[in-house]
Amino acid sequence: MSPEDVLSQVPRFRGVPLVVSPLTGGITNRNWRVEAGGESFVLRVAGEKTSLLGIDRHCEHAVSLAAATLGIGPEVVAYLPEHQALVTRFVEGRVLATGDVDDTNVISRIVRSLRRYHEAPPGAGRFCGFSTIRDYHRQSIEHGVALPAAVGIAIAQFAEIERSLPAAEPLCPCHNDLLPANLIDDGTTVRIIDWEYAGMGDRWFDLGNFAENHRLNRRQEECLLNEYFSELRPDDLRRLHAMRRVSALREATWGFLQTGISSLDFDFLGYANDHLERFFADPNARID
């Protein structure tokens, strides 16, 4: 079904001239920008077999609505479960890149949005980075993915990391996929998009996920923790480093599984191997 056919199911777009153009950069779904009546929207249609990645589209809709209400996510315009499609308002601003976090003002805006979501009332869904890694690893084997020997070593080290961490804190609403491309900065507020992995989870996974995906160096890590907790504690830095490694392995196992289930034109194997290397990197070596 074409994006125009999907949009025809939304009452506000019927009879309105539409200009639909593909958006690049997505590695799970197919996305289009939609111009209609002087306004801009985004149509996102789920990729194939994304339920195997642990994505619940009804949960995604619920948390997207919550994030929009908090002012940190785009307005949700329509949800079409029969087409696995979501329409949101286009967010104006600059899509962040890894180098942008060198500006402490940008980190401050990101932290404000994250804390606003983390401190919100409990919401839909649940996410655990540890169980997600185990599930992706298991499914990769079931789908016949040829995993490198280093994956087995990483899984063993990952189990040690899990055992070494302090007791889990109470769950809170988390995004769990804080890639640079999912953060849009208008200079006042950083808005977060793509809530498909969101759910009640561990704020430390969000912090580690953000730090790893943005390749924070030591100074930037300290800035992140100071902004979030208003102080810098050595134990927090160690915990952040541990969760950075967990995040890297989550991305690696996600990539390996995608090689077995996705039809999108993307180098999932290269993505997986890159993040596997990052899992083995020493977080303490990340300096200016």
Quote the number of domains for the chain. 2
Report DSSP letters for 199-231, one per residue: EEE-HHHHHHHHHHHTT--HHHHHHHHHHHHSS
Q: Is 281 found in the same domain as 184?
A: yes
Q: Is 154 found in the same domain as 62?
A: no
Report the chain's terminal Cα–Cα distance, integer Å.
49
What are the tens digits of pLDDT across the range 15-45? 899 999 999 877 778 999 999 999 999 999 9
Alpha-carbon span 74 to 90, nearest angstrom: 7
What are the tens digits of pLDDT across the range 246-286? 999 999 999 999 999 998 889 999 999 999 999 998 766 65
Q: Is 176 found in the same domain as 199?
A: yes
Q: How many CA atoms lie within 13 A of 65 on its CB side?
A: 10
Alpha-carbon span 88 to 24, nearest angstrom: 16
SS3 131: helix
Provide the residue type at 207 as one letter. L
Q: Is 79 found in the same domain as 140?
A: no
Backbone φ/ψ region at 266: left (φ over 0), alpha (ψ -120 to 50), beta: beta
* Domain CATH code at residue 28: 3.30.200.20
Q: Is 146 found in the same domain as 12?
A: no
Q: Is 142 found in the same domain as 83?
A: no
* Domain CATH code at residue 139: 3.90.1200.10
What are the tens digits of pLDDT across the range 113-158? 999 999 999 999 999 999 999 999 999 999 999 999 999 999 999 9
Vertex 267, ends 177 and 251: CA angle to 5°? 30
Domain that holds residue 246: 94-285
Paired tokens of 142: 């079931």
The answer to whether the CB of 72 falls within 8 A of the CB of 192 is: yes
Q: Is 224 found in the same domain as 116?
A: yes
What percent of the chain stands above pLDDT 90?
87
Q: Is 43 found in the same domain as 28?
A: yes
Domain boundary among 54, 89, 124: 89
Q: Is 22 found in the same domain as 153?
A: no
Q: Is 170 found in the same domain as 60?
A: no
Q: Is 129 found in the same domain as 239?
A: yes
Domain boundary among 70, 89, 108: 89
Q: Which residues, other chains included, contact 253 with Cβ-Cβ below 8 Å and sequence gap of 6+?
A: 132, 133, 136, 137, 140, 151, 272
Q: Is 134 found in the same domain as 273?
A: yes
**Residue 264: predicted pLDDT:** 83
What is the mean predicted confidence (pLDDT) over 48-63?
Answer: 92
pLDDT of 173 > 70? The answer is yes
Domain boundary among 38, 63, 89: 89
